Amino acid sequence: MDQRQASRGVGDESTRALWYTAPSQAELRHEAAPAPDPGDVIVETMWSAISRGTERLVFEGRVPPSLYERMKAPAQDGNFPFPVKYGYCAVGRIADGSVVFALHPHQDRFHAGSASLHAIAANVPPRRAVLAANMETALNAIWDSAAGPGDRIVIVGAGVVGLLVAYLAAGIVGCEVDVIDVASERAGIAAAFGATFLGAGNAEPGGADIVFHASASQDGLALALSLAGDEAKVVELSWYGAQSVAAPLGLDFHARRLQLVSSQVGQVSPSRRPRWDHARRMEKAMALLADPRLDLLITGEVAFDDLPAALPNLLAPGAPGLCTVVRYGR
pLDDT digits (tens, 9 = 90+) for 202-218: 888 999 999 999 999 99
Question: What's the rounded Cα separation, in Å, for the pair 71 and 65?
Answer: 10
Listed in sequence order, the DSSP H helices in the chain are 3-8, 52-59, 126-129, 132-145, 160-170, 187-192, 218-227, 278-287, 307-314
Question: What's the rounded Cα separation, in Å, for the pair 298 and 28?
Answer: 23
| CATH C-level class of 3-130+291-327 | alpha beta
Higher-scoring residue by pLDDT: 203, 286: 286
Taking CA atoms, 320 is separated from 24, 84, 185, 195, 299, in Å, by 18, 26, 10, 21, 9
Listed in sequence order, the DSSP H helices in 60-100 are none
pLDDT at position 4:
40
CB 55 within 8 A of CB 2: no
Question: What's the rounded Cα separation, in Å, for the pair 230 and 144?
Answer: 18
Cα four-point dihedral sign 145, 150, 154, 159:
positive
Taking CA atoms, 57 is separated from 37, 135, 190, 269, 301, in Å, by 32, 20, 26, 25, 21
Beta bridge mates, 15: 31
* Band (11; pLDDT cuts 50, 70, 90): very low
CB 62 within 8 A of CB 79: no
Is there a cis peptide before residue 149, judged by omega within 30 degrees of 0? no
Q: CA Rg, the chain, in Å?
A: 20
Q: What is the dihedral of CA 86, 91, 93, 96, to 10 degrees?
A: 110
Question: What's the rounded Cα separation, in Å, for the pair 172 and 149?
Answer: 6
Beta bridge mates, 28: 18
- Give the number of other Cβ atoms within 10 Å of residue 25's Cβ: 15
pLDDT of 186 higher than 60:
yes
- State the average pLDDT for the chain: 93
Q: What is the largest CA-CA distance in the chain?
A: 70
| pLDDT cut 90: percent of the chain above it | 86
pTM of the model: 0.93
Tens digits of residue pLDDT in 140-180:
999 999 999 999 999 999 999 999 999 999 999 999 999 99
Tens digits of residue pLDDT in 236-248:
999 887 788 989 9
Tens digits of residue pLDDT in 21-45:
999 999 999 998 778 888 899 999 9
Q: Do domains 3-130+291-327 and 135-262 have the same CATH topology?
A: no
CB 156 within 8 A of CB 211: yes
Higher-scoring residue by pLDDT: 200, 7: 200
**Which superfamily, per CATH, for 135-262?**
NAD(P)-binding Rossmann-like Domain (3.40.50.720)
Backbone angles phi, psi at 19, to 5 degrees: -120, 135
For the chain, the domains span 3-130+291-327, 135-262
- Give the number of other Cβ atoms within 10 Å of residue 263's Cβ: 22
Q: Across the chain, how many H-helices and E-strands are there?
A: 9, 17
pLDDT of 99 higher than 80:
yes
Beta bridge mates, 119: 100
pLDDT at position 330:
57
- Give the number of other Cβ atoms within 10 Å of residue 309's Cβ: 11
